[in-house]
């Protein structure tokens, strides 16, 4: 029995080490993927939006952005929560940059032309975990919606 408990605890410690290895780009990509998956559909427009965001926002080449997107999808599939992703993003960003990231999340949600309630919910949850005020959360949504209509 004690051996079994030690085995379980060692697996838990291994998972903690893996979470610590997530860098900013991976954390950001995972949050973008989480929004994309929220409505149960993975659309080409959303994938392209995420890939373009990683290229422009993180300064990656197309191949590197594709690899990162694949890695982020796998991590999101295995994750039990958003904490490890949000935590690393919070550590590397200012308040203003976190609002910009919320706008990036809204861009994914709007990529298919409409925002699903689940996408809204996920972005709202992420905004709360990133300490983005409700007013800034709403303004980010309005900014993205208005810019896509122009």
CATH label of the domain that carries residue 34: 1.10.3680.10
Average pLDDT (86-102) is 96
Q: Would you state the pLDDT for residue 101?
A: 97
Q: Would you state the pLDDT for residue 44?
A: 92
Q: How far apart are alpha carbons 18 and 5 in whole angstroms?
A: 20
Q: Would you state the pLDDT for residue 5?
A: 46
pTM: 0.85
Q: Which residue has the higher pLDDT, 57 or 21?
A: 57
In the chain, how many domains are there? Answer: 1
SS3 state at 34: helix
Q: Is the pLDDT of residue 16 over 80?
A: no
Q: Which residue has the higher pLDDT, 127 or 13?
A: 127
Q: How far apart are alpha carbons 97 and 93 in whole angstroms?
A: 6
Q: How far apart are alpha carbons 13 and 114 in whole angstroms?
A: 41
Answer yes or no: is 18 within a domain.
Answer: no
Q: Would you state the pLDDT for residue 10?
A: 60
Answer yes or no: is 2 within a domain.
Answer: no
Residues spanned by the domain of 112: 23-149
């919320």: which residue's tokens? Answer: 102
Distance, C-alpha 8 to centroid of its chain: 29
Answer yes or no: is 68 within a domain.
Answer: yes
Q: Would you state the pLDDT for residue 15?
A: 47
Mean pLDDT of all residues in the chain? 89
């Amino acid at each position: 029995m004690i051996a079994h408990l030690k085995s379980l605890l060692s697996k838990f410690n291994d998972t903690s080490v893996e979470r610590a290895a997530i860098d900013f780009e991976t954390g950001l990509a995972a949050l973008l993927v989480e929004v994309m998956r929220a409505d149960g559909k993975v659309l080409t427009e959303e994938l392209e939006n995420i890939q373009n965001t990683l290229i422009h926002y993180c300064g990656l080449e197309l191949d590197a952005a594709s690899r990162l997107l694949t890695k982020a999808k796998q991590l999101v599939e295995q994750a039990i929560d958003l904490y490890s992703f949000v935590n690393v993003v919070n550590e590397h960003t200012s308040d203003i940059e976190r609002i910009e990231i919320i706008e990036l999340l809204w861009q994914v949600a709007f990529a298919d032309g409409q925002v699903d309630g689940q996408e809204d919910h996920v972005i709202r949850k992420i905004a709360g975990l990133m300490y983005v005020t409700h007013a800034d959360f709403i303004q980010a949504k309005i900014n993205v919606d208005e810019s896509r209509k122009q």
